[in-house]
Amino acid sequence: MFATDDTIVAIATPPGPGGIGIVRLSGPRASEIAAAILSGPGNLEPRRATLTHALEPSRQRSIDRVLATYFPRPRSYTGEDVVEISGHGSPVVLRRIVESATAAGARLAEPGEFTFRAFLQGRMDLVQAEAIHDLVTAVTPRQARVAFDQLEGTATAAICAVEDALFNVVARLEASLDFPEEGYHFVDAKAAGVEVAELADRVRRLIASSRQGRLIREGCQVAVAGKPNVGKSSLFNVLCGVQRTIVANTAGTTRDLVTETIHLAGIPVTLVDTAGIRATSDAVEAEGVSRARGAVEAASAVVVVVDRSRVLDQDDRVLLRQTEGRSRLVVANKRDLPTAWSAEEQLEVGSGSPLVETCLIDGSSADTIREALLGLLEGKAPGRDPPAISNARHIGLLTSAETALRRAAAAAEGGATEELLLVDLEEARRALEEVTGKRTPDAVLERIFERFCIGK
């Protein structure tokens, strides 16, 4: 992966002009290289901002007036010696400072290399390192809240609590194996099985909280579907808050997919307005219908719009059947007109899915629809505390750990020996330790950190 014995440099602020830009140095020669590219006397005073000038490699001319701050190891972001040089946020100026640093012996940092060094130096575990990426890329307050809580160690604490309890069980089982002739039994195998089953339940609760966590972290795609002229585009515009698509009385106005990203209570939702789904011989409309069906299949959830002022026809029923069992919200439009549905049709439309009756002409039902859609996506009212788990890698490993724990608990119930129990328990421990980075293959680490931006 990365070399860790040299000194690296990169611009630590986002690309583009800004009021302030920061160049970061980290490594054993950070202070020495900073002295070589800054004017003024020798070494910087630790943790004190020093007004100075950044110099060109020849030291004949200044590049910019800067503030330089030295953070000696281990109390720095990376756990190494770090110097941060704050200058004016011109990309040209910042690049010239980086060029001076590389001329003085620094190496350009790779994406995520500063955080990787912090991980290696024990400044953070792998869950916290991943949370930094999530915090930097957060686009909603809820995403930022979840990422910050994980950076503060909520996920790590929950996982380590399970890991410590599991280690205690393993230690007692191994101790019993070490003294078989003396007759010492530090734990009965069946009693250990009960403890292991309780640990599996704790892991299951962590996994259960991850549904909301992934929703906040990754967002979702929601397709708006229905036959022509039922109000799909009107609903799409109401949810977006702008006239994003054309609304007309002519059926089949929308022929292609139109997308827009909105935020529902901090959850990024990509809305897809689709062509009216119906049987047609028009080649262009048929292509639009085909794309609409594909969007419905790919979506995390579907909003099916039906016209309550007209009786259900074959196109309505086909779409309702095709989306049955999916995460679905049914919107019955044109509440301002007399309903044409029989009691049986009303039951057919509302069966198995939340149903909202509305009039989309004036947009007065926008909040009701948003609340219903949010409830559908979250599966329940949002909790006051953010979920501890939101990362797909963590969920996969926790699932593996739970499977191994369940297997061990079942084996203990069946009278298995300590040796057999330890095989499954060690598998569970490996999975838990891979989450926090105690045991993580280099290929996984590389994949995690390559997603970071340069300078972080």
Check which CATH number belongs to the domain holding 189 and give it. Answer: 1.20.120.430
Indicate whether 246 pLDDT > 60.
no
Q: Are residues 111 and 141 in the same domain?
A: no
Residue 95 CB-density burial (10 A; 0-12 exposed, 13-18 middle, 19+ buried):
middle
Q: Is residue 386 in some structural domain?
A: no
Per the structure, the count of domains in the chain is 3
Which percentage of the chain shows pLDDT scores above 70?
A: 88
**Which pLDDT score is estimated for 112?**
92
Q: Predicted confidence band at 403 (pLDDT cuts at 50, 70, 90)?
A: very high
As given in the structure block, the two tokens for residue 162 are: 């399970």
Pairing outcome for strands 258-264 and 267-273: antiparallel
User: In one letter, which amino acid is 202?
Assistant: R
> Last residue of a domain, which of 67, 92, 123?
123
Q: Are residues 47 and 66 in the same domain?
A: yes
Which of 181, 184, 163 has its CA nearest to residue 173? 184
Q: Are residues 94 and 23 in the same domain?
A: yes
**Mean pLDDT value across residues 217-229:** 85
Q: Are residues 117 and 239 in the same domain?
A: no
Q: Are residues 211 and 228 in the same domain?
A: no
Which of 87, 95, 109 has its CA nearest to residue 30? 109
DSSP codes of every residue in 202-235: HHHHHHHHHHHHHHHHH-EEEEEE-STTSSHHHH
Alpha carbon distance 414, 179 (integer Å): 23
**Which pLDDT score is estimated for 283?**
63
Ramachandran area for residue 265 (φ above 0: left; ψ -120 to 50: alpha; else beta)? left
Separation of first and last alpha carbons in the chain = 16
Q: Are residues 366 and 252 in the same domain?
A: yes
Indicate whether 381 pLDDT > 50.
no
Q: Is residue 53 in some structural domain?
A: yes
As given in the structure block, the two tokens for residue 122 are: 């024990």
Q: Are residues 288 and 160 in the same domain?
A: no
**Which pLDDT score is estimated for 139?**
86
Q: Are residues 347 and 283 in the same domain?
A: yes
**Which pLDDT score is estimated for 142?**
85
Q: Regarding predicted confidence, which is higher, 51 or 246?
A: 51
Q: Which residues pair with 86 in a beta bridge?
A: 22, 67
Indicate whether 225 pLDDT > 90.
no
Arithmetic mean of pLDDT over the chain: 84
Domain range enclosing 95 = 8-123
Q: Are residues 187 and 311 in the same domain?
A: no
> Last residue of a domain, which of 94, 123, 152?
123
Mean pLDDT check: name the lowest of 251-260, 301-310, 366-375: 251-260
Indicate whether 362 pLDDT > 80.
no
pLDDT in tens, 23-37: 999 999 999 999 999
Alpha carbon distance 70, 151 (integer Å): 24
The answer to whether the beta carbons of residues 239 and 262 sit under 8 Å apart is: yes
**Mean pLDDT value across residues 188-202:** 88
Q: Are residues 232 and 363 in the same domain?
A: yes
**Which pLDDT score is estimated for 250?**
47
**Which pLDDT score is estimated for 88?**
94
**Which pLDDT score is estimated for 377?**
86
Q: Predicted confidence band at 317 (pLDDT cuts at 50, 70, 90)?
A: confident
User: In one letter, which amino acid is 334?
Assistant: K
What number of CA atoms fall less than 13 Å from residue 199's CA on the CB side?
32
Q: Regarding predicted confidence, which is higher, 92 or 192?
A: 92
pLDDT in tens, 406-432: 999 998 888 888 888 899 999 999 999
DSSP codes of every residue in 122-190: TSS-HHHHHHHHHHHH--SHHHHHHHHHHHTTHHHHHHHHHHHHHHHHHHHHHHHHH-TTTT--SS-HH
pLDDT in tens, 257-300: 788 888 888 888 888 887 767 665 556 656 767 777 778 787 88
Q: Regarding predicted confidence, which is higher, 210 or 111?
A: 111
Whole-Å CA distances, 278 to 24, 36, 161: 59, 72, 55
Q: Is residue 407 in some structural domain?
A: yes
pLDDT in tens, 31-55: 999 999 999 766 789 999 999 999 9
Q: Is residue 129 in some structural domain?
A: no
Our CA dihedral for 134, 137, 140, 143, rounded to 10 degrees, sits at 0
Q: Is residue 260 in some structural domain?
A: yes
Q: Is residue 293 in some structural domain?
A: yes
Three-class SS state of 413: helix
The answer to whether the beta carbons of residues 259 and 224 sit under 8 Å apart is: no
Alpha carbon distance 109, 9 (integer Å): 5
Q: Is residue 449 in some structural domain?
A: no
Q: Is residue 304 in some structural domain?
A: yes
Q: Predicted confidence band at 184 (pLDDT cuts at 50, 70, 90)?
A: low
Check which CATH number belongs to the domain holding 306 and give it. Answer: 3.40.50.300
Q: Are residues 372 and 231 in the same domain?
A: yes
Rounded to the nearest 10 degrees, what angle do helices 418-436 and 392-413 cross at?
Answer: 170
**Which pLDDT score is estimated for 143?**
87
DSSP state, 381?
P
Check which CATH number belongs to the domain holding 34 and give it. Answer: 3.30.1360.120
Q: Are residues 249 and 368 in the same domain?
A: yes
Whole-Å CA distances, 395 to 38, 79, 200, 400, 425: 47, 29, 14, 9, 18
pLDDT in tens, 109-162: 999 999 999 999 999 999 999 999 999 988 888 889 888 988 988 889 999 999
The answer to whether the beta carbons of residues 193 and 413 sit under 8 Å apart is: yes
